[in-house]
Protein backbone atom coordinates (compact mmCIF):
# COMPACT_ATOMS: atom_id res chain seq x y z
CA UNK A 1 0.00 0.00 0.00
CA UNK A 2 1.29 3.48 -0.89
CA UNK A 3 2.29 5.88 1.87
CA UNK A 4 0.85 9.42 1.76
CA UNK A 5 3.33 12.05 2.99
CA UNK A 6 2.90 15.81 3.42
CA UNK A 7 5.64 17.57 1.45
CA UNK A 8 4.65 21.25 1.44
CA UNK A 9 1.90 23.79 1.91
CA UNK A 10 0.05 25.43 -0.97
CA UNK A 11 1.50 28.90 -0.30
CA UNK A 12 5.11 27.63 -0.42
CA UNK A 13 5.17 27.00 -4.18
CA UNK A 14 4.41 30.01 -6.41
CA UNK A 15 2.53 29.45 -9.65
CA UNK A 16 4.80 28.29 -12.47
CA UNK A 17 7.56 27.16 -10.11
CA UNK A 18 8.81 23.99 -8.48
CA UNK A 19 10.16 22.97 -5.10
CA UNK A 20 12.50 20.11 -4.24
CA UNK A 21 11.56 17.87 -1.31
CA UNK A 22 12.99 14.66 0.11
CA UNK A 23 10.87 11.78 1.34
CA UNK A 24 13.05 8.92 2.51
CA UNK A 25 15.12 7.86 -0.51
CA UNK A 26 12.90 9.82 -2.93
CA UNK A 27 13.93 13.26 -4.26
CA UNK A 28 10.72 14.82 -5.53
CA UNK A 29 9.97 18.00 -7.47
CA UNK A 30 6.55 19.50 -6.71
CA UNK A 31 5.17 22.02 -9.21
CA UNK A 32 2.32 24.55 -9.14
CA UNK A 33 0.69 24.87 -12.56
CA UNK A 34 -2.25 27.24 -12.47
CA UNK A 35 -3.08 26.23 -8.91
CA UNK A 36 -2.85 22.51 -9.68
CA UNK A 37 0.03 20.64 -8.09
CA UNK A 38 2.08 17.90 -9.74
CA UNK A 39 5.00 15.82 -8.45
CA UNK A 40 7.77 13.97 -10.31
CA UNK A 41 11.28 12.69 -9.68
CA UNK A 42 13.60 15.64 -9.11
CA UNK A 43 16.54 14.13 -11.01
CA UNK A 44 16.67 14.24 -14.80
CA UNK A 45 17.51 10.73 -16.07
CA UNK A 46 20.06 12.20 -18.52
CA UNK A 47 22.58 13.64 -16.05
CA UNK A 48 20.74 14.09 -12.75
CA UNK A 49 19.85 17.74 -13.26
CA UNK A 50 17.45 19.19 -10.65
CA UNK A 51 14.09 19.31 -12.42
CA UNK A 52 12.68 21.43 -9.58
CA UNK A 53 14.92 24.23 -10.92
CA UNK A 54 13.71 23.72 -14.49
CA UNK A 55 11.54 25.93 -16.66
CA UNK A 56 7.82 25.19 -16.46
CA UNK A 57 5.61 25.83 -19.46
CA UNK A 58 2.12 24.40 -19.30
CA UNK A 59 2.50 20.90 -17.87
CA UNK A 60 6.04 20.44 -19.13
CA UNK A 61 9.30 21.05 -17.27
CA UNK A 62 12.65 21.47 -19.02
CA UNK A 63 15.84 20.33 -17.31
CA UNK A 64 18.05 23.33 -16.52
CA UNK A 65 21.24 21.42 -17.37
CA UNK A 66 20.65 19.95 -20.84
CA UNK A 67 17.18 20.94 -22.01
CA UNK A 68 15.40 17.59 -21.83
CA UNK A 69 11.65 18.13 -21.31
CA UNK A 70 9.13 16.03 -19.37
CA UNK A 71 5.36 16.06 -18.88
CA UNK A 72 4.70 16.55 -15.16
CA UNK A 73 1.07 15.37 -15.12
CA UNK A 74 0.38 12.12 -13.29
CA UNK A 75 -0.71 9.22 -15.44
CA UNK A 76 -1.28 5.53 -14.80
CA UNK A 77 0.56 4.86 -18.09
CA UNK A 78 4.21 3.87 -17.96
CA UNK A 79 5.86 6.45 -20.21
CA UNK A 80 9.32 4.86 -19.98
CA UNK A 81 11.06 8.22 -19.92
CA UNK A 82 12.92 7.65 -16.65
CA UNK A 83 10.68 9.94 -14.59
CA UNK A 84 8.50 8.76 -11.72
CA UNK A 85 5.23 10.63 -11.40
CA UNK A 86 3.51 10.78 -8.03
CA UNK A 87 -0.16 11.17 -7.18
CA UNK A 88 -0.74 14.47 -5.37
CA UNK A 89 -3.41 15.12 -2.76
CA UNK A 90 -4.48 18.52 -1.45
CA UNK A 91 -6.12 18.70 1.99
CA UNK A 92 -6.77 22.30 3.01
CA UNK A 93 -3.33 23.94 2.63
CA UNK A 94 -1.37 20.67 2.79
CA UNK A 95 0.22 19.15 -0.29
CA UNK A 96 0.85 15.41 0.04
CA UNK A 97 2.23 12.84 -2.37
CA UNK A 98 1.67 9.11 -2.58
CA UNK A 99 4.95 7.21 -2.26
CA UNK A 100 4.66 3.80 -3.92
CA UNK A 101 5.77 0.64 -2.11
Q: Which domain holds residue 64?
A: 3-99
* pLDDT, tens only, 35-57: 999 999 999 999 999 999 999 99
Domains in the chain, number: 1
Residues 6+ apart with CB under 8 A from 40: 28, 29, 31, 51, 61, 70, 72, 83, 84, 85, 86
pLDDT at residue 75 in the model:
80
pLDDT at residue 79 in the model:
73
CATH number of the structural domain spanning residue 44? 2.102.10.10
What percent of the chain has a predicted confidence (pLDDT) above 70? 99
Amino acid sequence: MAEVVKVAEVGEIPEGEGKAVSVGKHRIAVFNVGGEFHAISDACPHAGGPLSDGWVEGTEVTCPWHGWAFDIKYSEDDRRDGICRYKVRIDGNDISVEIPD
